[in-house]
């Protein structure tokens, strides 16, 4: 191979790496975990239990919800013009089969990832995309939360097809805020993880790994 061709392929490689920009949201390290506050949902009897683990693909977070509801949130500004795609690797080991997730009595998910945009002075005025690992609904279906139309539940994965297996998903958050909230966003303000079973009173077990935003 000529020297010119070697430089050409090296340039292509660098361009490819530079264009695939990534912004990690959670690392699931002990140091990070100490900085994350577990926030119990108002009205829930108990907090979901979160713990760290590690496998061949790196660190992960385990969530055990037993008639409980709480989340782990991080304030982070993501430039959706540069990195509009949310990537999640997750798994549900024990699901919530048989509940009506569209109702207040059954509005529980073994795994959720919220993406939040502040649109007012109070949390109730914020808009959110709630990406869920459903136990009963089909993938790529959606509906407003039964508690507020300002949060949209969107099914990225379902135990109807993917129980107890690691699943990696990707979604364009910028497009979704435009489609479901009619908002042209440049940035979002925060991301949160939650596993909750306070409405159904059931038990769920789930895992999260490799949550990040990417350019493509």
Mean pLDDT, each 10-residue run in order, the chain (216 residues): 40 38 95 87 88 96 96 94 98 98 96 92 80 97 95 97 96 98 95 96 97 96
pLDDT of residue 125: 72
- 160 falls within a domain: yes
Contacts of 37 (CB under 8 A, 6+ apart): 72, 73
- What is residue 3's predicted lDDT score, i.e. its pLDDT? 42
Is pTM, for the whole model, over 0.95?
Answer: no
Instruction: Establish if 78 belongs to a structural domain.
Output: yes
User: What is the Cα–Cα distance from 157 to 163, expressed in whole angstroms?
Assistant: 9
- How many domains would you assign to the chain? 1
CATH number at residue 133: 2.60.120.260
Q: What is the largest CA-CA distance in the chain?
A: 69
On whether residue 185 sits in a domain, the answer given is yes
What whole-number distance in Å separates Cα of residue 96 and Cα of residue 51? 20
Whether 11 is covered by a domain: the verdict is no
From CA 100, how far away is CA 110, in angstroms rounded? 13
For residue 16, being part of any structural domain is answered with no
Two tokens, residue 164: 């107890």
What is residue 20's predicted lDDT score, i.e. its pLDDT? 57
């Amino acid at each position: 191979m000529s020297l010119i061709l070697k430089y050409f392929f090296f340039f292509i490689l660098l361009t490819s790496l530079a264009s695939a920009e990534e912004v990690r949201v959670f690392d699931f390290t002990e140091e990070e975990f100490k900085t994350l506050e577990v926030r119990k949902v108002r009205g829930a009897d108990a907090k979901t239990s979160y713990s760290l683990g590690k496998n061949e693909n790196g660190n992960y977070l385990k969530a055990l919800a037993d008639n409980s509801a709480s989340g782990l949130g991080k304030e982070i500004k993501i430039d959706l013009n540069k990195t509009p795609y949310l990537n999640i690797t997750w798994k549900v080991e024990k699901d919530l089969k048989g509940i009506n997730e569209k109702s207040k009595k059954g509005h529980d998910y073994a795994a959720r990832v919220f993406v939040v945009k502040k649109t007012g002075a109070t949390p109730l005025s914020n808009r959110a995309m709630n990406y869920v690992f459903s136990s009963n609904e089909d993938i790529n279906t959606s509906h407003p939360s039964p508690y507020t139309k300002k949060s949209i539940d969107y099914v990225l994965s379902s135990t109807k097809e993917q129980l107890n297996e690691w699943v990696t998903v990707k979604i364009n958050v910028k497009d979704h805020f435009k489609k479901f909230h009619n908002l042209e966003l440049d940035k979002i303000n925060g991301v949160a993880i939650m596993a909750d079973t306070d409405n159904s009173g059931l038990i769920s077990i789930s895992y999260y790994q490799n949550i990040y935003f990417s350019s493509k």
